[in-house]
Chains A and B, each alone.
Chain A
């Protein structure tokens, strides 16, 4: 281990570990990339640093500036870490129904929280941030959903790391939040081996988000449309809260303490493993379990936890 100059140098280069003992198919290995090992605790540290450095380079961001960003938590936390180290102010538009630890971590690094209605989910946070940015054009709006530095961070970082550590990958499975991970890693892996299949996992969040007035309140990240995400993905599968929690617990039994969206990705990997004859499925565990201890995900009665998860945003 080298002695590093800045905590930001710890971002990326995360470890991968085999969890094939959890595979429902003995001919399919499952390998998990532990993004919770990043210093801010999630995969979003990568895009936070990339978006900030890109904005610094093109002159949009100068010392002392204020950033505004909508986030269900992890991007906000990553940006809070980067902003604290580099000396920027950060305001995060955060849905009210995220776990308490997400809020606490934002406070640790001095971010200001602007609450958006939980019933509108992340879509509501995006709408509110768009509105605030119009009123305050002097605040720098990196806008993770439309920022090319987001998928590029995965094309240049996460993807090559997976290829370096597990070139035998046949399937890549990850959550579809901003779509940045899937777009960046998916494109990189398919360029190296066109046979690699890319699967997206999505929670049925629409069921929990009942504050949408009509379907035109729906939201597709501009990067997904611009970079032709629909052509890149081979399959998209829905994983409900119960399956997500069950697989989060199974991961813990295998020694991997990961967040609830990682349980969803793992459930997707298991589904993928069952549907193919042989292969190597790589999944991204977006964060560790720490931020979800208050949800009782590992310890409380499963039915109670599932009901709780239905009201919480964990992607």
Chain B
């Protein structure tokens, strides 16, 4: 199932400048792996070498951070939007 993946500015150059791409997958883990397969320059930026979510990356399905859902096992369905955002502070 293809879903829309919105990319942060820092990852756009790895995707030919696109701010949004599509990727296949039934879970967030699958979507991110397919994303990296399509855009190898993102390797190491989104997932770590051992396949976990990069510490400074927040991934949202629609508006929910997947770390507080099922992490990489969080299911995605057609029509969902996945957003990748860098961790930023406030205060």
Contacts and interface: CB of A to CB of B under 8 A. Distances in A.
Interface of A: 44, 71-72, 74-75, 121-123, 126, 144-145, 175-178, 180, 202-207, 209-210, 212-221, 230, 233-239, 261, 271, 313, 315
Interface string B79-91: 0000101111111
Contact of B8 (A74, A75, A206, A239): A206
A204 B85 contact: yes
Nearest to A218: B56
26 contacts: A44-B91, A145-B89, A178-B90, A178-B91, A202-B58, A202-B65, A204-B83, A205-B85, A206-B8, A206-B88, A207-B8, A209-B86, A210-B10, A212-B8, A212-B10, A212-B86, A214-B10, A215-B54, A218-B86, A218-B88, A220-B89, A221-B89, A230-B68, A236-B58, A237-B64, A238-B60
A44 B65 CA distance: 26
Given A214-B45, A215-B10, A215-B57, A177 B86 contact: no
B18 interface: no
B50 interface: no
B41 to A, nearest CB: 11
A238 B58 CA distance: 10
Nearest to A199: B68
A131 B91 CA distance: 18
Contacts of B58: 202, 206, 236
Given A71-B91, A218-B55, A212 B9 contact: yes
Given A212-B10, A215-B54, A72 B90 contact: yes
Q: Which of A216, A218, A315 has the most CB of B within 10 A?
A: A218
A178 B90 CA distance: 6
A147 to B, nearest CB: 11
Contacts of A234: 68
Nearest to A209: B88
B57 A218 contact: yes
Contacts of A214: 10, 45
B88 A123 contact: yes
B65 A213 contact: no
A75 B65 contact: no
B49 interface: no
B90 A175 contact: yes
Interface of B: 8-11, 45-46, 54-58, 60, 63-65, 67-68, 83, 85-91
B48 to A, nearest CB: 11
Nearest to A74: B91
B44 to A, nearest CB: 9
Contacts of A238: 60, 63-65, 83, 85
Contacts of B54: 215
B89 A213 contact: no
Contacts of A122: 88-91
Contacts of B68: 230, 233-236
A221 B91 CA distance: 10
Given A72-B90, A212-B8, 19 more contacts: A75-B91, A121-B88, A122-B90, A144-B91, A145-B89, A206-B86, A206-B87, A209-B86, A212-B9, A213-B10, A214-B45, A215-B57, A220-B55, A235-B64, A235-B65, A237-B64, A238-B83, A271-B63, A315-B90
Contacts of A217: 10, 56, 86
A233 to B, nearest CB: 6
Contacts of A178: 89-91
